[in-house]
Amino acid sequence: MATHQARRRRPAFAGGLAILALCLGFTASPATAAAPPLPDYVALGDSYTAGTGAGDLYAPTPPGCWQSKGGYVDLVAATGQVTLLANLACHGALLVPGGPFYNGAPSVVQQILSRTGRSALAKAELVSITAGAIDAGSLLALRDCASPDTATCAATVAGIRAKLPAITLGLAGTYALLRASAPQAAIAVMGYPRLFDPTRGPLVLPGVTVVPVENQVQVNSAVDALNKAIADAVKLSRTKAVFVDVTQRFLGHAVNSPEPWIVLAPPVPPSTLLPDANFHPNAAGHQAYAAALLSSVVPAQPVNP
């Protein structure tokens, strides 16, 4: 997009985002109103932005990147009120490649610096991202806390908390790189929902185990701590990004709630090569993410060097 076009589109950005509310059931703008240009949208990050839990999995380009149809990015794009340039997110994506949790998926930094990423982000006027959960040790927390062992769960969560200052620094650097790559964009940094409702008592996983209330509380506290680390990283980065907290939207919709917005299905056979959708938003959960993005994002502002 040429520079003069960018200048013309930016004043209309707030109007473009207002129209996005159509997907939530708001009344359409009058037919006589001039339609503002559509904001160019790019998404990147981990499984939550890749759509895991929303539908069938598929493997897009690049190799090793798993996505699902019907995630919150697709829901926002389906309104017809943004131009989705690219969804670069991958199931299992870390901030940078390597380490014990690396599964070969393109990392967030690799997504930003890829040829597609550089091209799309240079034109982007809206960017959304989820990142940091796997780096912090979410896989360990779910492994050690989805069991009756309260001592191991507590120790694992304590270890995650100890790592969060380093995660904050890594996230802040990632947001700074993202801002440099997308200088015109409003950047929405999406948080993570609490997974359990401890008020409903111990959670019985059929044929697997029982998750006691103590472990549910521990996991939720780890999510809260991670969200704080993400919000702190947004401030530290000084990128004028916006942290979007989804915890209130998911209240009453945990995995053990009567109306869950988070997937919890019987375990898949160990031989499967497909990523696990458990503890990711289901279709309703991704709709909640779409609503959170649409109601929270703000127009891009000039960023001083």
Question: Following DSSP, what letter does each residue of 87-105 receive, concatenated?
Answer: E---TT--SSS-STT--SP
pLDDT tens per residue, range 135-191 = 999 999 999 998 899 999 999 999 999 999 999 999 999 999 999 999 999 999 999
pLDDT for 61 beyond 90: no
pLDDT for 6 beyond 50: no
pLDDT tens per residue, range 226-273 = 999 999 999 999 999 999 999 999 999 999 999 999 998 865 544 344
Give the whole-angstrom CA distance, residue 63 versus residue 86.
16
Of the listed ranges 1-5, 38-42, 214-218, 257-261, the least confidently predicted one is 1-5
Which residues in 63-78 are b (16+ Cβ under 10 Å) and which e? eebbbbebbbbbbbbe
- Hey, which residues does 130 pair with through a beta bridge? 45
Of the listed ranges 58-62, 93-97, 197-201, 286-290, the least confidently predicted one is 58-62
Q: Which two tokens stand for residue 142?
A: 């779910």
Give the whole-angstrom CA distance, residue 36 versus residue 2.
17
Question: Residue with structure tokens 């995995």?
Answer: 255
Mean pLDDT of the chain: 86
pLDDT for 1 beyond 60: no
pLDDT class for 37, splitting at 50, 70, 90? confident
- Say what the pLDDT of residue 276 is: 82
Give the whole-angstrom CA distance, residue 120 versus residue 105.
20
Q: Which domains does the chain have, with CATH numbers?
A: 38-296 (3.40.50.1110)
- Say what the pLDDT of residue 207 is: 64
- Hey, which residues does 290 pair with through a beta bridge? none
For residue 255, CA distances in Å to 45, 122, 195, 215, 220 come to: 23, 38, 6, 14, 12
